[in-house]
Amino acid sequence: MGVCNACRYCEGLCAVFPAMELRRQLSGPDVDYLANLCHSCGACYFDCQYAEPHEFAIGVPTVLADLREESYARYAWPGFLAPLFERNGLWVALITAFSVTVFVLGFILFSNPGVLFASGSEEGAFYRAMPHNTMAGLFGSVFLYSIIAMVLSVRKFWRASESQGSASWRSIWQATRDAAKLRNLEGGGMGCMHKSETPSNARRVAHHFTFYGFLLCLASTSTATVMHYLFGVQAPYPWWSPTVILGVLGGIGLILGPIGLLGVKKGSHSALRPVSGSGMDVAFLVMLLATSVTGLLLLFFRATPAMGILLAIHLGVVFALFLTMPYGKFVHGLYRYVSLVRHAHEQAGDKQ
């Protein structure tokens, strides 16, 4: 970072370098902040005159990628669960397999075993396998825990790195715009350079599919809650309902996006990948993909004898997703957004 601050050739590529230039000395929290502000577009690596084969062998995206993963563990809440970020792919796979197994066995042990192979598209059919209150209480509890854990983690990160008072609403709005447009994946306006010096928008487009697909699925779940508690309509819902329409659109986004990102990751330059080997990126994308695929399969085959087993598998995957959210790649969006808020706040102060 000292070399970069002296060179400043990459100043216009993303938010990291203007933020770095405001500092003559970098503390640990400052570096965590810069690492999470980085979107790994790769432009600085291919533009850098000190990258390999130069003897300095500077690789900013690789270093910041490793620091990001370290920061997730450093600010995790509760702290004793921080080791879950190490070998994260293995942990997520084990938790998912265990969760799916528990739901399948639960359907057998606590309801009629035949429900696993019973069809049901009529209203309330899902709750023959698992009572609604049990389902709502179980998933509501784990989701609430995940929200609390992530809020407290992000709070620790903000308090460690923030040094100029509370952010203004103007800074929050600017950060929201930058996050919604993924402006820092433009690589200075040309696009990401994930494979070579040739810029591409493939990674940015795949991120958009993933992000907005997730939001549509969240909207689908929210409308289902409204339909159940305000209008007394129980799942499964008809094809024309807002819940199903939003869920299908979101599910498609969570298939196209993760597949696109996995493809980009597979073909990316080795210098742009973290060296930690935690498997965090792939695990999170596979979890999103599994959530979408199992949900869409349940929708399309709910009127067949496969309904019960598909419901158990889908609920198990969703439960594992909720449980692992505070201890996997999901938190990168939260840390990055907070970093964007701080960057907007600092830039506004710098201009004043």
Please tell me the distance from the alpha carbon of residue 35 to that of residue 16, in angstroms, as a whole number.
8
User: Cβ distance 254 to 213 under 8 Å?
Assistant: yes
Residue in the structure block whose two tokens are 């920061």: 71
Instruction: State the pTM of this model.
Output: 0.89
Q: Tell me if 264 sits within 8 A of 194, measured CB to CB.
A: yes
Which tokens belong to 314? 């889908």
Q: How far apart are the first and last CA of the chain?
A: 26
Q: Going residue by residue through the chain (352 aa), what tens digit of pLDDT does each one get?
A: 888 888 888 887 888 988 888 887 888 889 999 999 998 888 888 888 888 888 888 888 888 989 999 999 999 999 999 999 989 999 999 999 999 999 999 888 877 767 677 766 666 677 877 888 888 899 999 999 999 999 999 999 998 876 556 778 899 999 999 999 888 887 666 777 777 777 788 889 999 999 999 999 999 999 988 888 887 888 788 889 999 999 999 999 999 999 999 998 887 777 777 777 788 999 999 999 999 999 999 999 988 888 889 999 999 999 999 999 999 999 999 999 999 999 998 888 755 4
What does the alpha-carbon distance between residue 308 and residue 298 come to, in Å, rounded to a whole number?
9
pLDDT at 187: 67
| Residue 241 CA: distances (Å) to CA of 212, 219, 237 | 19, 13, 6
Chain segment 271-305, per-residue pLDDT in tens: 777 777 788 999 999 999 999 999 999 999 988 88
Buried b (16+ CB within 10 A) or exposed e, 162-185: beeeebeeebeebbeebbeebebb
